[in-house]
Structure 1
Amino acid sequence: MSSPENIIPQLVTELLGQEAPMPYDLLLLADPSTDMINTYISGSYVYIALLEKARVGVYVLLPLDNEKIEVKNIAVHEAWQGRGIGKYLLQDAAAKARSLGFTTLVIGTGNSSVAQLYLYQRSGFDITAIHRNFFIEHYATPIYENGIQCKHMIMLEKQL
């Protein structure tokens, strides 16, 4: 396994072209519903993380208004997890959002997403809201992570 300092300088993020196929294999790692992904993908900026020519990650930015933009999906290919790529993608998303003129970056995750909550808070995000029973009401199949049922959407924000 390569160390993060060997991988991160080689990572490149590119805006997915309109004709390019949607990387559902990566998107489904963070959101298990193609139907839900399709509700937010239109009107979003989809960025692919490339290591040489391999697609190792993805994130999706959806403008909410003139000031706020939300990371609707962020995922790292399973073979590349644990190497700092997620942290890099989060930093890159903030930089891209700032360059697009947004002042606030929003992200949501499930109550059972312990590692993600840790990463987001360590990256400067603050919890701003909890949407109770979001995953129960919007997903047909129960979701479990870390032995915990994913029920509630925890929303976090970071000023850019």
Structure 2
Amino acid sequence: MKITKIEDKDKISFMELLLLADEDLKMIEKYLYRGEMFALYDGGLKSICVVTQESDDVCELKNIATYEKWHGNGYGSKLLDHIFSHYKGRYVTMLVGTGDVPWILQFYQKNGFRISHRIKDFFTDNYGQPMYDDGVQLVDMVYLSKIL
């Protein structure tokens, strides 16, 4: 298994995988080039993430995606472990915002995040079309935080 930092010129080539976690290209473009991207390979690309600086002591996990056929194999958690180590000492807190979907919230909580706050109507106010995950329409953004 290998985790690699992706240079800006190469980030666009990972759009197919990024779109699995955030279905709106315009939203991805807002953070893609101001963030750092990491890719996890294990006999091929398995998982990817983008982390942005939000303040001197806070970073945000803007996108993490694993190809669906590889869900449940620990690739997302291994990628999170890598970025936790990478950013420890550089930032105090890592945030992540997501839809109010039980399996996603459980994934983040299993990896040390705790629910912080919500932004009411985030998905309905910021996306041009309704967003769904597991058949549930996403409305509020749930923020979780982790002390690094």
Asked whether 1:137 is paired with 2:128, we answer no
Q: Which amino acid aligns with 1:69?
A: C
Asked whether 1:17 is paired with 2:7, we answer yes
> What's 1:85 paired with?
75
Secondary structure of the corresponding residue to residue 20 of structure 1: helix
After the TM superposition, which parts of structure 1 deviate over 3 Å for at least 4 consecutive aligned residues?
Answer: none
* Superposed counterparts of 1:1-160, under 5 Å: 11-22=1-12, 23-52=14-43, 54-98=44-88, 101-111=90-100, 113-160=101-148
1:15 positional shift: 0.6
Q: Structure 2 CA distance, aligned partners of 1:95 and 1:115?
A: 24
Contact 2:8 2:33 in 1 (8 A): no
Runs (5+) with no aligned partner, structure 1: 1-10
Runs (5+) with no aligned partner, structure 2: none
Q: Structure 2 CA distance, aligned partners of 1:41 and 1:147?
A: 27
TM-score (norm 1): 0.87
> How many residue pairs are counted as aligned between the two chains?
147
Deviations 1:45-95 (A, max 9, x none): 01111113x111100010011111000000001221121111112222211
In terms of mean alpha carbon deviation, does 83-92 or 30-39 score higher?
Answer: 83-92
Secondary structure of the corresponding residue to residue 26 of structure 1: helix
Q: Structure 2 CA distance, aligned partners of 1:89 and 1:21?
A: 17
Structure showing greater Rg: 1
Secondary structure of the corresponding residue to residue 23 of structure 2: coil
Deviations 1:71-124 (A, max 9, x none): 00000012211211111122222112215x11111111101x221100111222
Cα 1:66–1:81 shift into 2, 3 Å:
same
Q: Which amino acid aligns with 1:138?
A: N
Q: Structure 2 CA distance, aligned partners of 1:133 and 1:21?
A: 29
Q: Structure 1 CA distance, aligned partners of 2:11 and 2:53?
A: 21
Q: Structure 1 CA distance, aligned partners of 2:45 and 2:147?
A: 29
